Amino acid sequence: MLKVLAKVAEDRWANDSITSPLPEIYALAQCHGDLSRDDCILCFARSRTSLSRCTILDTKGRLYLDGCFIRSDYYNFFNETVDPQHDMVKCANQSSVSANQQARQQFAAKVDRVLTNVSAVAPENMGFAVFGEARRGGVAGVYALAQCWNTLDEKGCRECLANAMIRARNCTPGDEGRAMNAGCFMRYSTQRFYTVPTDGDSLKLGIIIAISLSVAAATSLLFVGAYVGYRKLSKKREVQKKLFGVPEIVRKSNLNFNYESLEKATNFFDESRKLGQGGAGSVYKGILPDGRVVAVKRLVFNTRQWVDDFFNEVNLITGIQHKNLVRLLGCSIEGPESLLVYEYVPNRSLDQILFVKNATHVLSWQERLNIISGTAEGLAFLHGPCGVKIIHRDIKSSNVLLDEDLTAKIADFGLARCLDPEKSHLSTGIAGTLGYMAPEYLVKGQLTEKADVYAFGVLVLEILSGRKNSIFGQASGSVLQSVWKQYKSNSLAECIDPALKGKFPVSEALNVIQIALLCTQASPDLRPSMSEVVEMLNDQECIVPMPTQPPFLNNNPIPGDSSRSSNTNTGITNRLTNSEISFASTISLR
């Protein structure tokens, strides 16, 4: 064990084994991901001083500390996730939660959210994650940490945390709960306990130790609690931490917002300020001290990989301004959760107007056409004049916001990617929303600007029909297939939203539907560019070509155009539904 502790000074974790002479001994020591190297060394140094009488350094047993973990045993436990005999949970007896049943339910729900978040993120983030929700509406704030030991693979980490989460959540309504498993540690508390960069003079480390000792044939568990206060080794802390540091790209700009200021601006993320909920997080209305009204998005994931990847794109987006693009004003990633700050758009998102039954405002034909044209112009700008092609990757009704004049503004660039003009496509993990995803991207992972064109075509058909493309590739629910059938039967006028009550120019409506069908053709080469779409929409004398290919892979092109059917022989399963999806390398971006 002493040999392992010596190695920890370099890498903040270590494991080792001695298989000869018998008995075999296996040992592991690891610090949590939020500790610096100095704090890691100090954690183990203090633990050895405080626990000098414990036999963990000489025989089998476990020590669980808030900042670090030590274990030794007579067998290879490195891939062990759970050990029902010796795993344990420690719940706080104290509860600051009101005895009111509703308050307790709200607190339990908050605990469940933060534990679910860290359980999902940690396996994708080298086994470590933290997440917190601040106090609001009279319900205490909840902060959580999850740490898997480095000897586990991703599957083992996920399995261990799933078990730990079930047991830790049972500690509610207690102010704190800790699950200490063979392969991981999980904790929630109403106090922010994990380390964040600070210029303060001191740092406190609470230690709860659970020691499993073997004496002869009997095994007993010894719980020892110790609270150790210590001074930092130096006031000059690292400016950037693994998870919480601000990338230089943001630090050197005027994008960096103070977390506490945004918390106050949204009245501590009060539900009455909530504007919407998406796959990336919730959006709240905020009022800054200078009176500016902004939209603040609380992001679901809070990983270093996400920060690095996303803000490389943010740097590019912030340099672009267009009337049909929502402007990103800044961000905060140093608090317990990551926040993005956007310009406030008062009429919320298109889906909240278009798909609401018995809506007080039914969009007129001209309003729908303006929204379509504005969205097309925004995409054309992203794909063209700004130097490199920016592919949005998640064009859909909920990502089109409407201002006071119902001008369309494209929002949510969390999945955006840049395409070098010299490259034909990007090969990337799939991320986006089923129902709007282009076939070549969904099946092959090949991303070009034509994926945005496809999604735009779907969006246009939704705007014109007033129907959501609820099921991709299934005739009973797909707007795409029903419109295509009506196109083939020369009854396109029947596609228009009945709520318009016939108040629309038929010839113009047919042209716009035809443009949408051009955009949703299965082969990307057959789709027009967004600049061509803008021209077709704005130039009444422009002749709109006839679509030659249906918008789904498991059908053949119109007879007579078989030369273009080579890319249409792959089917898409009918089990795919219209829901947000993120696979493989992109899961940390959503």
- Where are the chain's structural domains? 2-231, 246-344, 348-589
Q: Which band of pLDDT confidence, cut at 50, 70 and 90, is reported for residue 22?
A: confident
**What mean pLDDT is predicted for residues 555-560?**
38
Nearest to residue 257, comparing CAs of 337, 356, 346? Answer: 337
Q: What is the mean pLDDT of the chain?
A: 75
Which pair of structure tokens corresponds to residue 126?
């080298």
Distance CA 318, CA 92 (A): 46
**What mean pLDDT is predicted for residues 276-295?**
86
In the annotation, is 87 catalytic? Answer: no
Catalytic hit among 73, 394, 412, 452: 394
Q: Which band of pLDDT confidence, cut at 50, 70 and 90, is reported for residue 21?
A: confident
Distance CA 320, CA 311 (A): 14
Coil, strand or helix at 275: strand
The answer to whether the pTM exceeds 0.85 is no
Distance CA 178, CA 185 (A): 7
* Domain 348-589 CATH assignment equals 1.10.510.10: yes
Segment 313-327, tens digit of pLDDT = 566 566 678 899 998
Q: Which band of pLDDT confidence, cut at 50, 70 and 90, is reported for residue 584?
A: very low
* CA 127 to mean position of chain CA atoms: 17
* CA distances, 438 to each of 243, 265, 419 (Å): 34, 39, 17
Distance CA 497, CA 506 (A): 12
Segment 255-280, tens digit of pLDDT = 778 889 999 999 999 989 998 876 56
Coil, strand or helix at 117: helix
Contact 362, 500 (CB under 8 A): yes
For residue 440, the model assigns a pLDDT of: 86
- pLDDT > 70? residue 509: yes
**What mean pLDDT is predicted for residues 232-256?**
45
**What mean pLDDT is predicted for residues 444-473?**
86
Which residues touch 329 (CB under 8 Å, ≥6 apart)?
A: 255, 294, 341, 342, 343
Segment 123-180, tens digit of pLDDT = 988 899 999 888 877 788 999 999 999 999 999 999 999 999 999 999 999 999 999 9
Instruction: Give percent of the chain with pLDDT exceeding 70.
Output: 70
For residue 307, the model assigns a pLDDT of: 54
Coil, strand or helix at 375: helix
Instruction: Write down the CATH number for the domain with range 246-344.
Output: 3.30.200.20
Q: What is the largest CA-CA distance in the chain?
A: 93
**Residue carrying structure tokens 């609001």:** 136
Q: Phi and psi of 570, rounded to 5°? A: -110, 125
Distance CA 536, CA 547 (A): 14
* CATH, domain 2-231, list 3.50.50.60, 3.40.50.261, 3.30.430.20, 1.10.357.10: 3.30.430.20
Q: Report CA dihedral (187, 188, 192, 195) to the nearest 10 degrees.
A: 20
Cis peptide bond prior to 498, omega within 30° of 0? no
